[in-house]
Structure 1
Amino acid sequence: MLAHLPAPQSAEVLSGFPPDQQADVAYRIALMDRTAPEMVRMVEEELGRRMGSLLAYQDMATVGGVETLVEIINRSSRPTERSILEWLENSDPELAERIRSQMFVFEDIVTIDDRSLQLVLRDVEANDLATALKGVKQDVRDKVVRNLSERAGENLLEEIELLGPVRTRTVEEAQAKIVAVIRTLEEQGALTILRGEGDDLVR
């Protein structure tokens, strides 16, 4: 049922469950794929239309899955996130890694405040940074360059051009390295990703 609700509402409901139930529900959401309209209709009738119409389409309705769970977790409190991920790491390490890798995408660095981003950039290899910025939106590239010295910014832009065409997988791997740095700094307490209060912010 939570898979049908907007992520902020799902996160609020999920946070009210005991830790073991949070993980169990999260696991079921991640493994969901498609739900027949008849099933959704039955649940809707059982709730007495309290949550409004859940059927936006007459054919198969896509609900749940890893992306849905990631969005819900990103809107949840840090304790809820930790509880779910710890349970998944013990029960299904591969699924836990898929979820963890998607929880903060590279483009989300535009939400990081300048001071924290500068801290991140100090731990990133120049080549990885240049590769990660290939093909990204201009606002992402501008955000990074703006937080480097003028000379370092110019060198970065030059290196990006010198790279030429780069495989998508290579770009994604470089981006993943930078996201890993961000998550490591968060775990160390060097920066904080705020969750459960609308859009994610990093301070």
Structure 2
Amino acid sequence: MADNETQKPSDDNVSGLIDTLTGPQKAAAILVAIGRPSASRLLKHFNAEDLRKLAGHARTLEPISPLDFEQLVKQFEDSFAEGAPVSEAAQRFEGLLREALPQDEADAVFEERVQPQLVQESVWAGLARLPIEGLQAYLADQHPQIIAYIVSKLPSDLAARIFVGLPPQLRSAVVQRSLHIGNVAPAAADLLEDVLRRDLLGRSDAGPVKAHHGQIANIFNQLDRQEMEELMASLKDLSQDDISRIKAKLFNFEDIERLSQRARLLLFDEVQTEQIATALRGADSALQETVLSSLSTRGRRMVESELAAEQGNITSQNIADARRTVARIAIDLSERGIITLDSGEDTE
């Protein structure tokens, strides 16, 4: 009798505790209790929003004893023999999610809801979507130092188009300042970005970035050979040291001939056959032979077959893009220390 009276309050206490949990809290508790293998299989059936909600409810769980879990399992009409106590439900639930989901999806579930810096689009992303003509017209009225900073924050291909559209004298001044631009005070960067939003985007992020010879060369490498040569010729105000350091980092498709045979073999191992064939369209016979001699026997036959066929719908833009792709791969291999881009002066 005494035993029964002692047991009854305990049962009531257990029932009362479980009854205070919400449905999502109970679901989170069950997932934690059944262990990682089983929970991992179940979690894959939830969408991202459901997982966020469950993760949030898991954080609110109080420590749950095995007796509490027995009552909870009965409510779910399942056949668990024994539940596992949870004293750190939030951490264990996060562990389950991270085991069951790819890292990027799990990170998205647990990232903080309030991230002001991600709410507003970067001013640089906004500028990159503007019509190039309007952006060039605006920049042409700015001080070269301002232009240099703005260009240093934009993608290289967009920066290249801006450079080409600037008047020659202004272009030279901008390049000179871009080479030696230093850290920009956060307050000044914030102010400039606010002005750009107001003037160009009609609607505040900061972060100074250094722009040196490598970045300028990367911009120039987005141009075709004629544009690159015209731009280099306009840089009369630069010191010989600056010009030499830029030239050392310049590379386009025609410069493949200055690579060593070993470097060419490594380069074309990284390039798709179709891109090689497209890039060789319209190239002089000497350059074609240089490239073809760097391919495997099978690769050479495939490229020669492509070149012998009609050009079809391959445009001059397709050819230019393929050549830039090959040049970018060469530059990437050089930056990784796999090959060396010997300068023209070194080969003469």
The TM-score normalised by the length of structure 1 is: 0.51
- Residue 214 of structure 2 is aligned with which of 67, 90, 93? 67
Secondary structure in structure 2 of the residue aligned to 1:63: coil
CA–CA distance in 1 between the matches of 2:296 and 2:221? Answer: 34
Cross-structure match for 1:176: 342
Deviations 1:73-109 (A, max 9, x none): 22346565334322436631111111111111xxx76
* Correspondence 1:98 to 2:259: no
CA contact (8 A) 1:22 1:80 kept: no
Cross-structure match for 1:139: 270
CA–CA distance in 2 between the matches of 1:79 and 1:137? Answer: 24
Cross-structure match for 2:188: 39
Which one scores higher on RCO, CA 8 angstroms, separation ≥ 6? 1
Query: Higher Cα Rg: structure 1 or 2?
Result: 2
* Correspondence 1:129 to 2:261: yes
Deviations 1:111-164 (A, max 9, x none): x7xxx96xx3xx77xxx433x469879527x9899822879xxxxxxxxxxxxx
Cross-structure match for 1:4: 153
Q: For the structure 1 residues 50 and 86, does the alpha-carbon distance in structure 2 shift closer, same or farther, using more than 3 Å as the test?
A: same
CA contact (8 A) 1:34 1:64 kept: no
Percent of aligned positions with the same letter in both sequences?
16
Specify every segment of 5 or more residues in structure 2 that has no aligned partner in the other structure, as ranges: 1-149, 277-288, 298-335
CA–CA distance in 2 between the matches of 1:49 and 1:30? Answer: 26
Residues 75-114 of structure 1: pairs in structure 2 closer than 5 A: 75-76=222-223, 80-88=227-235, 91-104=238-251
Secondary structure in structure 1 of the residue aligned to 2:211: coil
CA–CA distance in 1 between the matches of 2:214 and 2:243? Answer: 12
Q: For the structure 1 residues 36 and 4, does the alpha-carbon distance in structure 2 shift closer, same or farther, using more than 3 Å as the test?
A: same
Secondary structure in structure 2 of the residue aligned to 1:102: coil
Deviations 1:27-63 (A, max 9, x none): 11111232222221111111127469653x5xxx323
CA contact (8 A) 1:34 1:62 kept: yes
CA–CA distance in 1 between the matches of 2:266 and 2:296? Answer: 22
Q: Which amino acid aligns with 2:182?
A: D
The TM-score normalised by the length of structure 2 is: 0.32
CA–CA distance in 2 between the matches of 1:45 and 1:87? Answer: 32
Q: Which amino acid aligns with 2:243?
A: A
Specify every segment of 5 or more residues in structure 1 that has no aligned partner in the other structure, as ranges: 152-167, 185-203
CA contact (8 A) 2:178 2:212 kept: yes
CA–CA distance in 2 between the matches of 1:84 and 1:145? Answer: 28
CA RMSD of aligned residues (A): 4.3
* Correspondence 1:29 to 2:139: no
Secondary structure in structure 2 of the residue aligned to 1:28: helix
CA contact (8 A) 1:4 1:54 kept: no
Q: Which amino acid aligns with 2:342?
A: A
CA–CA distance in 1 between the matches of 2:267 and 2:177? Answer: 33
Q: Which amino acid aligns with 2:235?
A: L
Q: For the structure 1 residues 49 and 135, does the alpha-carbon distance in structure 2 shift closer, same or farther, using more than 3 Å as the test?
A: same
Size of the aligned set, in residue pairs, is 143
CA contact (8 A) 2:182 2:210 kept: yes
- Residue 20 of structure 1 is aligned with which of 165, 169, 178? 169
CA–CA distance in 2 between the matches of 1:145 and 1:20? Answer: 38
CA contact (8 A) 2:152 2:211 kept: yes
